């Protein structure tokens, strides 16, 4: 390890430590190779940046998972691109060379930031145009397939009309979306940033544009004012899950639109509603892990659906609250949310069964705002 650590220390000196994305990737590369033993090398290199903060460096390093997809080859590739030669003949850059690289990196970062801002503005403009051109989604194929009712915060548009506005055909996994598309507005804060489009075959696509969906959410209804006192807010992954949960309980609900976005959205809602009871609607399988983390991060509750062993929906094992609504009715969804509990201190999830954890009583949940069931699915 000593020889490899020395090689890493030499190579990384050729990489400007000014761009945050590069900074994090180099940390990932070093940790994948050396584990926590590599922190000192990464931290020492990080200190070249004027924005360096010891506490931030420690926090970022702690968040990096070894084997997270970036390996040490990435660091060596970046170093070679900046003049490093892995043959023993290289010389470390001079302070003047480092300063010049910082200047170039800063210019590049400024240009990328400006380009991204233009992309975001363009995406938001196209999203607004599609929303304006959209119509009432009554009878929308996706909503019908999921057996949920439309709400005022959804519209639909023909795939051809959407493509004409966008200037390209929206695709999912290389497959073009077709027919009547459900239009799901995505907001970052109170601002429309992009749209998620969903066709009748459940293909989904967000509009092109960097950073327009990260941290964004869709609300099934206008969000209330205030600090959340007496409010129970449901936060799930997808549109159908959130609509089923809202219909079952009457509580306001929002969708993070991906499992990886759950924690970011939950934290944003905790900032907006510090006094609210936040209930994270977890999907079974991998979704349980991210839902559990989101609930822990905001001191919220975790609600999970339950299914009998061997039951299928669309030839697949059921995973979410919408599947539960279709298979068991909305009352079952209401019961699952009413039994939401503080997340477990450790993982250990299994399909179709909740992990052992401290549960809240129905009386306490009613005190936090649960208003009862809203009927059954047909």
SS3 call for 160: helix
Q: Using one digit for the tens of pLDDT, what is the confidence trace for 91-121?
A: 666 778 767 766 776 787 788 788 889 999 9
Distance in angstroms (rounded) separating the CA atoms of residues 118 and 123 = 9
Q: What is the dihedral of CA 52, 53, 55, 61, to 10 degrees?
A: -10
Q: Which has more confidence, 344 or 300? A: 300
Query: Do the beta carbons of residue 242 and residue 196 sit within 8 Å?
Result: no
- Strand-pair category, 253-255 with 191-198: unpaired
> According to the model, what pLDDT value does residue 93 have?
67
Residue 352 scores a pLDDT above 90: no
Measuring CA to CA, which residue among 333, 342, 360, 224 is closest to residue 291? 342
- Strand-pair category, 277-281 with 301-303: parallel
SS3 call for 153: coil
Measuring CA to CA, which residue among 58, 51, 55 is closest to residue 27? 58
- Strand-pair category, 175-176 with 180-188: unpaired
SS3 call for 99: helix
Query: Which two tokens mark 111?
Result: 């240009």
- What residues does 180 pair with on adjacent strands? 158
Residue 358 scores a pLDDT above 70: no
For residue 363, name the pLDDT band (cuts at 50, 70, 90): very low
Distance in angstroms (rounded) separating the CA atoms of residues 330 and 30 = 49
- Compute the mean pLDDT over every residue in the chain, rounded to the nearest whole number: 87
Q: Which residue has the tokens 């509009």?
A: 207
Q: Using one digit for the tens of pLDDT, what is the confidence trace for 237-285?
A: 999 999 999 999 999 999 999 998 999 999 999 999 999 999 999 999 8
> According to the model, what pLDDT value does residue 105 have?
65
Query: Do the beta carbons of residue 155 and residue 183 sit within 8 Å?
Result: yes
Q: Which has more confidence, 212 or 167? A: 167
Measuring CA to CA, which residue among 71, 23, 75 is closest to residue 48? 23
Q: Which of 33-47, 58-72, 75-89, 150-164 has the highest mean pLDDT?
A: 150-164
């Amino acid at each position: 390890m000593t020889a490899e650590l020395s090689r890493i220390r030499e190579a990384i000196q050729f990489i400007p430590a000014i761009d945050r994305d590069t900074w994090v990737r180099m940390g990932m590369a070093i940790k994948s190779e050396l584990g926590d033993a590599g922190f000192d090398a990464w931290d020492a290199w990080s200190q070249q940046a004027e924005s360096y903060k010891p506490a931030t460096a420690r926090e970022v390093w702690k968040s990096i998972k070894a084997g997270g997809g970036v390996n040490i080859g990435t660091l060596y590739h970046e170093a070679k691109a900046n003049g490093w030669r892995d043959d023993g003949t290289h010389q470390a850059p001079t302070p003047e060379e480092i300063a010049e690289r910082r200047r170039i990196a800063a210019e590049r970062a400024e240009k990328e930031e400006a380009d991204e801002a233009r992309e975001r503005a363009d995406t938001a403009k196209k999203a607004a145009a599609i929303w304006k051109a959209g119509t009432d989604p009554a009878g929308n194929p996706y909503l019908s397939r999921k057996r949920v009712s439309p709400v005022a915060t959804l519209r639909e548009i023909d795939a051809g009309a959407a493509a004409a506005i966008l200037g390209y055909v929206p695709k999912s996994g290389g497959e073009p979306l077709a027919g009547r598309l459900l239009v799901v507005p995505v907001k970052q804060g109170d601002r429309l940033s992009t749209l998620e489009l969903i066709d009748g075959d459940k293909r989904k696509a967000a509009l092109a544009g960097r950073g327009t969906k990260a941290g964004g959410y869709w609300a099934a209804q206008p969000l209330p004012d205030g600090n959340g006192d007496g409010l129970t807010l449901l936060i799930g992954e997808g549109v159908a899950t959130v609509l089923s949960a809202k219909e079952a309980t009457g509580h306001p609900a929002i969708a993070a639109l991906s499992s990886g976005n759950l924690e970011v959205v939950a934290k944003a809602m905790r900032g907006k509603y510090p006094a609210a009871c936040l209930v994270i609607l977890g999907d079974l399988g991998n979704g349980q892990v991210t839902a559990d983390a989101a609930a822990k991060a905001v001191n919220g509750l975790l609600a999970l659906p339950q299914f009998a062993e061997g039951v299928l929906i669309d030839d697949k094992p059921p995973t979410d609250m919408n599947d539960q609504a279709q298979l068991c009715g909305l009352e079952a969804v209401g019961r699952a949310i009413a039994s939401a509990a503080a997340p477990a201190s450790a993982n250990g999830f299994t399909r179709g069964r909740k992990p052992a954890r401290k549960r809240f009583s129905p009386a306490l949940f009613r005190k936090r705002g649960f208003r009862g069931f809203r009927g059954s699915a047909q």
